[in-house]
Chain A
C-alpha cells in the first residue's frame, strides 16, 4: 500500500532563512511525487513534481526538491524564505494513474520577521 509521511507537523522559520520540509513515501513501484502548497481556505497549488530523470527538481517560487530512492524521500527546500511562503505544504505520491494521489498529513510553515 502506498503512504506518505511528513514527520514535521509545524515548522517555524525566520524570513530569509532556509527551509527544508521532509517527506518519506512508501510505494511498490516508481512513484510520481508532488509537492503542493495550500493557503488558508484555498485550493492546492502545485510547486513541483517528479516523474523520472533528474532527481533534483526545480519548481515555482524558488522551491526545489530532491528524489532519493535509497531513502524513499522527496524533501522540499528553499534557500531563503519569504513571509508569503507561510502556508500548509503537502507532499503527495501517485502511480501510473497518478491523478489519484495519496497525501501526507501536511506541514504548517510559519515565517517570523
Chain B
C-alpha cells in the first residue's frame, strides 16, 4: 500500500538553530500535503497546506516565516522550523493526498522535535 515517509523520527536541537523535516510519498504522487502539530496529550492542529510548485497556505496563527514549507516535487514536502525555541517542541505529522483522487490520504509516522 501507499506509504508516506517522514524523516527524521525524532530530533533534538539547540535553541536558535533550524531543523528540517521531510515528508515523502514513496509510491504515489502528492500535489498536496498537509502539516500538523500535536502537543502532548492534545489533538492534531493543522499548520499549513503544502502545494507542489506554489506557496503554502498557512492556518491562522501559524507564523509562515518561522515554519518554512517547501514542496518542490510531487513526492516531497519539507517543513523547516527556523530559529527553534523550546516552545516549538512538539510532534509534527505530515499527510499526503494522492494526486487525482479525492479519497486517498496517508499520514507519515511523525517527527518528535525537542528544542533545548
Is the beta-carbon distance between B43 and A43 smaller than 8 angstroms?
no
Contact A103 to B105, CB < 8 A, known contacts A42-B110, A43-B110: no
* Interface membership of B97, Cβ < 8 A: yes
Please, how many residues of chain A have a CB less than 8 angstroms from a CB on the other chain? Answer: 20
Contact A100 to B43, CB < 8 A, known contacts A42-B109, A42-B110: no
Is the beta-carbon distance between B102 and A41 smaller than 8 angstroms?
no
CB-contact partner of B46 in A45, A46, A100, under 8 A:
A100
Please, how many residues of chain B have a CB less than 8 angstroms from a CB on the other chain? Answer: 22
Is the beta-carbon distance between A99 and B95 smaller than 8 angstroms?
yes
Is the beta-carbon distance between A99 and B109 smaller than 8 angstroms?
no
Residues of B within 8 A of A99 (CB): 32, 34, 49, 95, 97, 105
User: CA separation between A27 and B94, bound complex, in Å?
Assistant: 24
CB distance from B66 to the nearest CB of A (A): 20
Q: Select from chain B the residue with minimum beta-carbon distance to A43.
A: B109
CB distance from B114 to the nearest CB of A (A): 12
Residues of B within 8 A of A49 (CB): 103
A-B contacts, 7 listed (Cβ < 8 Å) = A36-B107, A44-B93, A45-B107, A46-B105, A101-B46, A103-B44, A104-B43
Q: Which 8 A-B pairs have the closest CB atoms?
A: A43-B109, A99-B97, A44-B107, A103-B43, A103-B44, A43-B110, A43-B107, A105-B43
